């Protein structure tokens, strides 16, 4: 891991140590109103009150003054399609129509390596603008899509996971692979990219409707052959899709059971949506260690349904937050938190601001099983972090003046904030080119 700067950052500091939904707040997070984050060689050396830590720094150690702003770990987006960047904000009356009318035609363009490379660069710039430092990313069925993404992410030294989509039916002919072709591509891509610097490979069967039994069997074999790789797919997003999955796999108890039968439920398996689940599905998710990616802007935009936060919590199911761009309508994890809050409200459930910020940082790292490296400021973690501006807009500044507690301030950021509030994004202690206002 090529590394970076050694210096300290003085600001209000926040990071999570546990889920505020399951432990007392004083054990869930650390907040230093006037704090110091000390970064050495791209990693967190220590955090604490500035008044204590400043005196411990060697003479001449650079201190970057960001007092007035909040520094927290970079956001983690656990489900996003880089190949759908150009079709964000395209209408569709449900996900299946949207796939047919916008997604598949757009994804065909990624056969061209130069197109894939150009979109990957824009996409990674956009993630940085939004303060997202790690994501679990879908490519397309084309080998070029995965290579272009990994190449761009490697150049920026990002911790990213991605995969080439596997789909051999239920989509236009020219977008289909074969089980054997997918096996070869995944083996070669995983060999080249998994564990290369900060990158991870994700085995990526698109969803049950676009993979034959033979292909899901190959996905299961690949998952066994690469126990540390991610698995990513979609599950139970829309009722029409659930009915089709059950018709294609009549021997399966439920949609989720399709993935289970092929050995695709385990730790580091992330399923987007998980809306139309029953109690047994949720228990199976919890027991297997797989995680759901809750994608509120996508679920509302495509009219898919409401993620049941209370039922997921009651089942002990792991979940995190995700944008699902381009079904999702924003790259911003702040906007995503805001919509997650409203999805809970619609079901008379509560998601606090602390919980939302947890889900977008340490919660995402836990879902990805990367919490020993990212998602918090524990000593030794990689120094990927962001600087949030309380005065990003006149309205935010005005609202912040009236906010008395940390929780009130976080709430204002998540309801009123977006990429304008992300003043700087640091990767391994280095600024990603966004300058302070
Ligand atoms: N289900 C299968 N593919 C997709 C996709 O690209 N986006 C969403 N939201 N759902 C899917
Ligand atoms: Zn998706």
Report CA 79 to chain centroid distance, whole Å.
5
Residues whose CB is less than 8 angstroms from the CB of residue 61 and which lie 6 or more positions away in sequence, other chains included: 6, 7, 8
Confidence at residue 432, expressed as pLDDT on a 0 to 100 scale = 87
What's the token pair of residue 317? 């199911």
Q: Which of 79, 94, 95 to mutate to test the pocket of ligand 1 (most atoms within 8 A of CB)?
A: 95
**Ligand 1 pocket, residues with Cβ under 6 angstroms:** 81, 95, 99, 103, 206-207, 234, 237, 298, 324, 327
pLDDT in tens, the chain (437 residues): 444 569 999 999 999 999 999 998 889 999 999 999 999 999 999 999 999 999 999 999 999 999 999 999 999 999 999 999 999 999 999 999 999 999 999 999 999 999 999 999 999 999 999 999 999 999 999 999 999 999 999 999 999 999 999 999 999 999 999 999 999 999 999 999 999 999 999 999 999 999 999 999 999 999 999 999 999 999 999 999 999 999 999 999 999 999 999 999 999 999 999 999 999 999 999 999 999 999 999 999 999 999 999 999 999 999 999 999 999 999 999 999 999 999 999 999 999 999 999 999 999 999 999 999 999 999 999 999 999 999 999 999 999 999 999 999 999 999 999 999 999 999 999 998 765 44
CA of 409 relative to ligand 2 center, distance in Å: 31
Distance separating alpha carbons of residues 268 and 229, to the nearest angstrom: 7
Q: Which ligand is nearest to the CA of 165?
A: 1
Q: Which of 88, 103, 240 to mutate to test the pocket of ligand 1 (most atoms within 8 A of CB)?
A: 103
Of the candidates 82, 7, 1, the one whose C-alpha atom is nearest the C-alpha of residue 426 is 7
In this structure, the residue with its CA closest to atom 9 of ligand 1 is 327
Distance separating alpha carbons of residues 146 and 185, to the nearest angstrom: 10
Q: Which ligand is nearest to the CA of 299?
A: 1
Q: Which of 141, 258, 327 to mutate to test the pocket of ligand 1 (most atoms within 8 A of CB)?
A: 327
Confidence at residue 434, expressed as pLDDT on a 0 to 100 scale = 63
Task: Identify the residue whose tokens are 């495509």.
Answer: 302
Confidence at residue 26, expressed as pLDDT on a 0 to 100 scale = 85
Confidence at residue 435, expressed as pLDDT on a 0 to 100 scale = 53
Q: Which ligand is nearest to the CA of 167?
A: 1
Confidence at residue 25, expressed as pLDDT on a 0 to 100 scale = 82
Ligand 1: nearest atom to the Cα of 327: 9
Torsion of CA 293, 210, 231, 18, to 10 degrees: 10
**Residues in the chain, overall count:** 437
Can you give the pTM of this predicted structure?
0.98
CA of 326 relative to ligand 1 center, distance in Å: 9
In this structure, the residue with its CA closest to atom 7 of ligand 1 is 327
Ligand 1: nearest atom to the Cα of 138: 6
Of the candidates 62, 79, 189, the one whose C-alpha atom is nearest the C-alpha of residue 134 is 79
What's the token pair of residue 26? 């004083």
Ligand 1: nearest atom to the Cα of 295: 9
Q: Which residues are paired to 201 by β-bridges?
A: 162
Ligand 1: nearest atom to the Cα of 298: 9
Confidence at residue 1, expressed as pLDDT on a 0 to 100 scale = 47
């Amino acid at each position: 891991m090529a590394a970076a700067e050694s210096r300290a950052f003085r600001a209000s500091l926040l990071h999570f140590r546990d889920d505020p939904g399951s432990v007392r707040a004083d054990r869930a997070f650390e907040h230093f109103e006037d704090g110091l984050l000390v970064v050495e060689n791209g990693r967190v050396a220590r955090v604490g009150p500035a008044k204590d830590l400043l005196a411990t720094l060697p003479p001449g150690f650079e201190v970057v003054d960001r007092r007035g702003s909040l520094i927290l770990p970079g956001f983690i987006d656990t489900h996003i399609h880089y190949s759908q960047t150009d079709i964000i904000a395209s209408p569709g009356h449900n996900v299946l129509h949207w796939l047919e009318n916008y997604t598949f035609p757009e994804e065909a363009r990624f056969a061209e390596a130069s197109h894939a490379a150009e979109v990957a660069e824009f996409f990674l710039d956009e993630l940085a603008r939004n303060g997202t430092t790690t994501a679990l990313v879908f490519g397309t069925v084309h080998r070029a899509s995965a290579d272009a993404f990994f190449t761009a992410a490697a150049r920026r030294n990002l911790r990213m996971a991605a995969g080439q989509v596997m789909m051999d039916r239920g989509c236009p002919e020219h977008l289909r692979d074969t089980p054997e072709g997918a096996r070869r591509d995944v083996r070669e891509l995983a060999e080249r990219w998994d564990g290369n610097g900060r990158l991870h490979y994700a085995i990526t069967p698109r969803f049950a409707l676009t993979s034959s039994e033979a292909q899901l069997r190959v996905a299961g074999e690949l998952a066994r052959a690469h126990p540390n790789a991610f698995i990513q797919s979609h599950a139970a997003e829309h009722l029409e899709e659930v009915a089709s999955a059950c018709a294609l796999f009549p021997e399966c108890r439920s949609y989720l059971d399709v993935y289970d039968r092929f050995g695709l439920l385990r730790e580091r398996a992330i399923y987007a949506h998980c809306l139309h689940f029953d109690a047994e599905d949720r228990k199976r998710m919890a027991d297997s260690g797989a995680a759901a990616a809750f994608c509120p802007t996508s679920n509302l935009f495509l009219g898919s349904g409401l993620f049941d936060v209370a039922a997921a919590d009651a089942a002990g199911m792991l979940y995190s937050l995700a944008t699902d761009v381009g079904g999702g309508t924003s790259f911003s994890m702040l906007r995503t938190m805001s919509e997650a809050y409203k999805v809970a409200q619609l079901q008379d459930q509560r998601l606090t601001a602390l919980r939302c910020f947890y889900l977008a940082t340490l919660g995402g790292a836990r879902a990805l099983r990367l919490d020993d490296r990212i998602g918090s400021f524990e000593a030794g973690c990689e120094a990927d972090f962001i600087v949030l501006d309380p005065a990003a807009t006149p309205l935010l500044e005005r609202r912040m003046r009236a906010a008395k507690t940390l929780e009130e301030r976080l709430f204002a950021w998540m309801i009123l904030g977006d990429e304008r509030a992300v003043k700087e994004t640091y990767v391994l202690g280095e600024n990603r080119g966004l300058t302070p206002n």
